[in-house]
């Protein structure tokens, strides 16, 4: 059956920063269960979409640090070199099918139960999370050094994402993550320069330090903000030497060896 020409645009390539998507079919971030710990399933699932024609395939929300651990819910994680290798399978398979691979960086601060990592998330203010009816979850209020440190966690996670081979980087600023916690008065009760007026509540996200979260160029005239743009980034070019807090086995050859549980085969 001939294609209605009205839909031809969907099959045209489009530039996203320095990257080119071969068509307009863009699989946004969504959870499906594999996370980073089942790299075979993760790569096979996203890879099946890439093979079927999707130009962009994303991970699910991807925790940037053990402070943002939602276990027993399964997110992707990009905490360390093991995660880099595991998520690298997704990237390799997507690229094999000429698709771009994207990752959604996620830090939910005081909403993260951290039942596995036992860490404490940081939020604009201390509050009891309203996200979990069956357990009590608290975060810790950030001081100014914490704000800088959490921004740096995003940057470091972005570098690991580049090392894994991701082409596109998205910062989750919805779903009650820390960027939206700053903006929302119900979570941001600060009385310093990061609280109160909208300008103050947006200050952390608008700081030069935070501009490194999404170091792509948002097109001139774009209504999108840096915070919510999904964009290709040039951060891969900025990757510098990273000292890993490695908790997984490493290979000196640089070969990607799955590091975790179901990792025997990237096809599994």
Ligand X SMILES: Cc1cc2nc3c(=O)[nH]c(=O)nc-3n(C[C@H](O)[C@H](O)[C@H](O)COP(=O)(O)O)c2cc1C
Residues that bind ligand X (CB under 6 A): 28-31, 60-61, 104, 172
Q: How far is the CB of 31 from ligand X (least distance, A)?
A: 4
Strand residue runs (E) in 96-167: 100-106, 122-123, 140-141
Q: How far is the CB of 158 from ligand X (least distance, A)?
A: 17
In the complex with ligand X, the residue whose CB is nearer, 9 or 31, is: 31
In the complex with ligand X, the residue whose CB is nearer, 60 or 67, is: 60
Q: How many of the other CB atoms lie within 10 Å of CB of 95?
A: 15
In the complex with ligand X, the residue whose CB is nearer, 29 or 210, is: 29
160 closest CA partner among 77, 268, 262: 77
In the complex with ligand X, the residue whose CB is nearer, 131 or 149, is: 131
Q: How far is the CB of 34 from ligand X (least distance, A)?
A: 12
Strand residue runs (E) in 172-236: 230-232
Buried b / exposed e across 21-38, counting CB within 10 Å, b at 16+?
bbbebbbebeeeebbbbb
In the complex with ligand X, the residue whose CB is nearer, 147 or 180, is: 180
Strand residue runs (E) in the chain: 14-16, 19-21, 26-27, 56-63, 76-77, 100-106, 122-123, 140-141, 168-171, 230-232
**CA–CA separation, 168 vs 232, rounded Å?**
4
Q: How far is the CB of 220 from ligand X (least distance, A)?
A: 26
Q: How far is the CB of 117 from ligand X (least distance, A)?
A: 19
Q: Identify whether the C-beta of residue 131 lies closer than 8 Å to the C-beta of residue 186.
A: no
In the complex with ligand X, the residue whose CB is nearer, 37 or 60, is: 60
In the complex with ligand X, the residue whose CB is nearer, 147 or 231, is: 231
For tokens 């599994």, the residue is: 268
Q: How far is the CB of 85 from ligand X (least distance, A)?
A: 21
Give the SS3 label for residue 240: coil
Q: How far is the CB of 58 from ligand X (least distance, A)?
A: 8
């Amino acid at each position: 059956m001939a294609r209605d020409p009205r839909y031809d645009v969907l099959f045209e390539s489009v530039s996203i920063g320095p990257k080119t998507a071969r068509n307009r079919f863009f699989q946004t971030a969504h959870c499906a269960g594999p996370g980073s710990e089942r790299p075979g399933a993760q790569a096979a699932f996203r890879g099946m979409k890439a093979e079927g024609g999707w130009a962009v395939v994303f991970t699910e929300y991807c925790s940037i640090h053990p402070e943002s651990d939602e276990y027993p819910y399964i997110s992707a994680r990009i905490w360390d070199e093991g995660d880099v290798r595991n998520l690298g399978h997704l990237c390799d398979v997507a690229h094999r099918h000429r698709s771009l691979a994207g990752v959604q960086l996620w830090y939910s601060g005081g909403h993260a139960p951290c039942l596995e990592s036992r860490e404490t998330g940081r939020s604009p203010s201390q509050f009891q999370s309203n996200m979990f009816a069956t357990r009590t979850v608290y975060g810790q209020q950030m001081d100014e050094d914490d704000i800088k440190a959490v921004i740096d966690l995003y940057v470091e996670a972005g570098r690991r994402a580049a090392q894994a081979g991701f082409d596109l980087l998205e910062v989750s600023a919805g779903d009650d993550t820390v960027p939206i916690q700053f903006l929302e008065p119900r979570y941001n009760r600060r009385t310093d320069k990061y609280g109160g007026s909208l300008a103050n509540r947006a200050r952390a996200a608008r700081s030069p330090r935070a501009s490194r979260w999404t170091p792509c160029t948002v097109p001139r005239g774009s209504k999108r903000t840096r915070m919510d743009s999904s964009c290709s980034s040039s951060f891969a070019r900025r990757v510098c030497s990273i000292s890993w807090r490695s908790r997984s086995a490493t290979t000196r050859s640089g070969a990607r060896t799955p590091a975790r549980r179901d990792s025997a085969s990237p096809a599994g």
